[in-house]
Every structure is written in structure tokens, then in C-alpha cells.
Structure 1
Amino acid sequence: MANQGWIYRDKISKNQAGLSLLAYYAGKYPHSSPEEWLDRILSAAILVNGSPAGPDTVLEIGQQLTYQRPPWTEPDVPLFFERLYEDAEVLVVAKPSGLPVLAGGGFLEHTLIHLVHQHYPEVTPYPIHRLGRGTSGLVLMAKSKPARAKLSQQMREGKITKIYRALVGRGDIPDNFTINQAIGKIAHPILGYVYGALADGLSARSDGRVLKKHPDSTLLEVQIFTGRPHQIRIHLAFFGYPLIGDPLYGLGGLPRPDAVPGDCGYYLHANQILFNHPSTGERISICCPAPPESVISYQ
């Protein structure tokens, strides 16, 4: 069943001024080909300040762009979540692997935030952090603007603790380890750009310990002290132990050039989160065992 479609809105910045309309969309949204963007421009699906424009139109600072995407059928994903903690200000849910948190790419209604909005039409729960689509487990949300501000501040100050379970291959992994490796954007031939291990990127730290070793795999507990995109996947791959089944990151923590957008298949689970309640200051700890269908739960 098709969704309701969506209007994408962009505002031209100083750095984007001077680009043609076609160059802007082809460069910013490489998931569609330049030919596809040209067809949309010529069919008046894209407007500049509310009016149709040609593909060679030179963009100016402050112009408003809108792209009316018609309804489309989204990829099948598991459409459920579990409530693990809730009060007037805070909601903690667990999502399955395969379900995106936010809209993007081919997903609009097949997302965690859309499902939560359906259950809470009177409020707008705001996710304080994200999980990758292939990652299962805990997501912390605020149910009010004051709670959002306080929890977001805790995230910035490193006061929210996030602990994961990760499954990697066999090897001589130290029982306890720390990974300090910067993460930044890297150009990618298919995805446009993607995050990876980058010397001049943003600092990132992950601490890990071995929970259990098996002949063909190792179960790890990993705590992250920064919240860089794909941090655990990148760090473990950089460390020499990429996640089993990870289609994007191999040894060295760099993205594979043939990776396809939205690939899942890796085993990573947000197992525990600790935060201070935005009103009472009470330290709250929520745990979420790996779901039965996950390999991690059997280690």
C-alpha cells in the first residue's frame, strides 16, 4: 500500500548559491540519478519560491525549494515497537532490527517515529538519539519540550550512558579495550558520502569488553562515550573486528565502495541506557534483552 507522499523543503545557503537547480538536487540527493531529477524538474514537481523553474535556473541565497514526491510503496519492515518505560515526560521504547527511526530515503511511514506518533497523537515524542536501521534495542524519547531540552543537554554533556551488545568474528580480542578513533564524512560513489574512520574527523571513544567467546564468534559489550553516526560499527571495524554481517564497514573502519543504501544484516543491540530524569533528577536505568530472533540473544 502506498503512503501519502511528501513535500521536501530546502532553503538555499550561501555555499549553495550559484548552482543550477539540476546540479543542486543531483549533488545533494545522489540516491536518484541526474536524469531522474531532470524529469522531476521538467514535470514541475520541483518549485523555486513556489513557481516552476528550468533545470539551468541559477539558485540564489534564501530561495525556497519544494519537491512534491508522489505517494510510493515503502520497503517492508517490522512495524512494531515495545514500550519499556513511560511517564508524563519520558518514553523509552525498543525497536526491532530493520525499522528506521526517522524518515529518509525510501522510508516515510515505515519508521519508528511514525509508529510512535500513531500511538501518541496528542503529543510529539522526540528521539534524543538514533539507532541505525539494522540496530535493535532502546531509544530514549522526550514527550515535552522542556524534557527534550534537558535530555538533549545530558547527551551533549555525556551524562547519558548507552551500552550495546555486538557480535564480531573470532580472534584474539583483548578482554577489555578502548578505541579512540575520530569519525568523519567520506565521499562514497553510491551513497554520496558516508561516515567512516577519518584522522581529521570528530573525536570518538568506545570502551568494550568480551562477554563470551565461541569457535566462530565473540559477543562484546560496548559502551560509547560519544554519539557519532555508526560509531560502534566503525570503531570495531577499525579495531580489526567488524560486526558479523555488516555490509558497509570492513577492516579499517572505511565504507565498502559497493555498499547499497539501507543494507542491514549486522548484529548490534542497544542493551541498556541510563539517564537522569528531566524533572526529578533520579538516575534511571532501562535494560532491553536482545530479541529472540537475534543471534546475539543466543550467545
Structure 2
Amino acid sequence: MRRTDASGKPLPPLPPKPRRRVRAVSPLPMRDGVSASWVALPAGPWARFEDFFVERFPLVPRADWRARMSLGEVVDSAGGPVDPQGHYRPHLRLWYYRALECEDDIPFEEKILFHDEHLLVADKPHFLPVVPTGRYLQHSLLVRLKRRLGIEELSPVHRIDRGTAGLVVFSLHQQTRDRYQALFRDRSVGKVYEAIVPWSEGVELPPVRRSHLMDDASFLRTREAPGEPNSETHMELVEVQAGHARLRLSPVTGRKHQLRVHCAAMGMPILNDDYYPVLRPEGPDDFTRPLQLLAQSLEFTDPVTGQARRFESERRLDFPQSAD
């Protein structure tokens, strides 16, 4: 039917409704807290399936891929096993389990602070990544919780750095996940962090730090640069003790490493930061030197239930011990 206004004048057609993304359904079940991953096969020169996997994932030996395929651990979207010697065919989606032969242990435990039918809030320890990354798989917050609760659709709706401790919010169902993610995208969440930084008498802490942040030459880091501010952090001095201060930091924006960069740029880098102001050589974790940054509280209106939510971490940052 043609649309018209009150006078009968034709109105332009409505724009088409956005197409909903169809979530790919894994033919492989969750295994030990790890959901199957998938890869779309591009056009390319590979003769066999195993050739593609060896080139795409160079840290996994060819013999391992052959063994996984022979055990039926690499399948197509219908669940059919992939023959390692089978002729390569582009445009397929293949599913597989991620695995690590050797994984570093993280000897600290997370705590579930809240869990209902839609939402879970966990209190993450330092050093534990939120999701599998690099040399961490079983020792990631997501896999630990999925293994513990058996909820395959569990997914974080925001992230904090591996070195940061504190609150992480998870959605339990794919159907409502975007509504929780939208809270963080739309800056509808009140976020408060705490940090321990070096402190000198007479320093004046600005109430707000605004700056333009961009990727450093090293992708690992972020830096301040000239330009229109795209980051904003509200700052408050909480207490001072023996040359260090506890700061309350409330980020308005959520740029990569924002709080760490803002503190370092003011000459007060967060205690035990291996990235700012100087990137230290990569090495084993020193569990005696956790980054003194804590995601302390979150506050928002639950988009599913309409309830006001406020969560506080049970962890606490400690001032360094004096030498005497």
C-alpha cells in the first residue's frame, strides 16, 4: 500500500529493514568449556584442506591437524568430518576446537557476584584474560565459567585488560546479548575504577582528563596525540599513603588502555604497569606485581528486566609496603 501524508500527498518509501545477522550454529558441542571455532575458506592455492590449516595456523604442526581431522574434530557446517587429504574447496565454513599443547597456569580464582536467567557478573582476578587469547585458553575467564556452569551461549558484553582486576558482565543468551552490549556502546553504564599511582606533595589532580588517543607504532600500546579529544576520564583523589595515592577513575569513553595512558601522561603511571610509560620486555608473569588497577563498580538499568543494577568488586588494591 502506498504511504501518504494527511493531505494525501505521497510519502517516500520507508527504508528497508536492516537484515538481522544469522548466528552460525556450531555442529560441534562445547568441550571442556571451549566452544568450537569456525573459519571460512577463501579462494587460494591450497591443494588439500590440511595445507590451508597449516598455513593459516602456523603454530600447530601438520601432524596435529591430521590427527584432529582423523578424530572428527574438524567438520563442515553439517557436521561431516573433513578428510585431511581431501581436495581443498573454497567458500566452505569449517569448525574446529582450539587447543593449546602447553598453557601457563593462572593461580587465582574468579568469583561470581550475580547470576540470574539473563545476566552474570564475575569478579576477575589480575592476570586472567577475559576470553581465550594467545597462550591462554582454559585459563581465561570465559572458559572457566563455561566449564563451571555448562552455559554454551555465555558471552562477555564488554572487556577489561588481562592485567586489570574487577567486574566483568556476561550475557547468558544470544537473544538478549545485544541489549546488554548496547549499554556499553551507548555509554549508559556508570563505571568506576580504582588505581594506585606514585604521588608527590603539591600535585594538583585535574578533575577531568581529555585527550586524543591513537594506536602507537607498537600496536600493543596507545598514545596521546594532537587532535580533537576522543577520550575522557574523571579523576578523584581518594587517599595518600607513603608516596602513593589511591585514585578513583570514571571513564566516560572506553578507549584501549585509556586509564593507563591518562595516568602515565600526567606523570603518575599506574603501579606495576608493564606498558606505560615504558614498554617492558615480555617475560613470565610476576604474580607479586599485579597491575594496580581495579574495575571497582558498575551501575546501569537492566534493559531486559528494567531493574536498577549496581555491582561492586570485593577485591581491593593495596599500597606498596614501605622499605623500613
Question: When the two structures are superposed, what TM-score results if normalisation uses the length of structure 2?
Answer: 0.67
The DSSP-based 3-state class of the residue aligned with 2:263 is: helix
| 1:258 aligned onto 2:287 | no
- Name 2:259's counterpart in structure 1: 232
Stretches of structure 1 that go unaligned for 5 or more consecutive residues are 30-36, 54-60
Q: Distance in 2 between matches of 1:149 and 1:273?
A: 18
The DSSP-based 3-state class of the residue aligned with 1:245 is: coil
Q: Distance in 2 between matches of 1:297 and 1:86?
A: 34
| 1:272 aligned onto 2:302 | no
Q: Distance in 2 between matches of 1:127 and 1:73?
A: 25
User: What percent identity do the matched residue pairs reach?
Assistant: 23
| 1:127 aligned onto 2:156 | yes
The DSSP-based 3-state class of the residue aligned with 2:255 is: coil
- Name 1:215's counterpart in structure 2: 242
Q: Please identify, of 74-83 and 149-158, the stretch whose mean Cα deviation from structure 2 is larger.
A: 74-83
Does the 8 Å CA contact 2:195/2:293 hold for their aligned counterparts?
yes
CA gap of 1:202–1:76, structure 2 versus 1, over 3 A, is farther
Does the 8 Å CA contact 2:153/2:174 hold for their aligned counterparts?
no
Does the 8 Å CA contact 1:167/1:243 hold for their aligned counterparts?
yes
How does 1:140-179 map onto structure 2 within 5 Å? 140-171=169-200, 172-179=202-209
| 1:84 aligned onto 2:138 | no
- Write 1 or 2 for the structure with the bigger share of strand: 1
The Cα shift of 1:290 comes to 2.5
The Cα shift of 1:182 comes to 2.7
The Cα shift of 1:157 comes to 0.8
1:60-113 Cα deviation digits (max 9, x unpaired): x96979998764221121352212122211111101112111100110011110
Stretches of structure 2 that go unaligned for 5 or more consecutive residues are 1-31, 46-51, 70-75, 77-81
- Name 1:32's counterpart in structure 2: none
The DSSP-based 3-state class of the residue aligned with 1:113 is: helix
How does 1:1-299 map onto structure 2 within 5 Å? 10=39, 37=58, 40=61, 45=65, 71-171=100-200, 172-188=202-218, 193-199=219-225, 203-250=230-277, 256=279, 258-260=281-283, 265-291=290-316, 294-295=317-318
Give the paired residue count.
Answer: 268
Q: Please identify, of 76-85 and 64-73, the stretch whose mean Cα deviation from structure 2 is larger.
A: 64-73
CA gap of 1:170–1:13, structure 2 versus 1, over 3 A, is farther
Corresponding letter in the other structure for 2:216: I
Q: Distance in 2 between matches of 1:281 and 1:10?
A: 38
CA gap of 1:7–1:72, structure 2 versus 1, over 3 A, is farther
The Cα shift of 1:12 comes to 7.8
The DSSP-based 3-state class of the residue aligned with 2:103 is: coil
Q: Please identify, of 212-221 and 76-85, the stretch whose mean Cα deviation from structure 2 is larger.
A: 76-85
The DSSP-based 3-state class of the residue aligned with 2:217 is: strand
Q: Distance in 1 between matches of 2:242 and 2:231?
A: 30
The Cα shift of 1:275 comes to 1.4
Does the 8 Å CA contact 1:166/1:296 hold for their aligned counterparts?
no
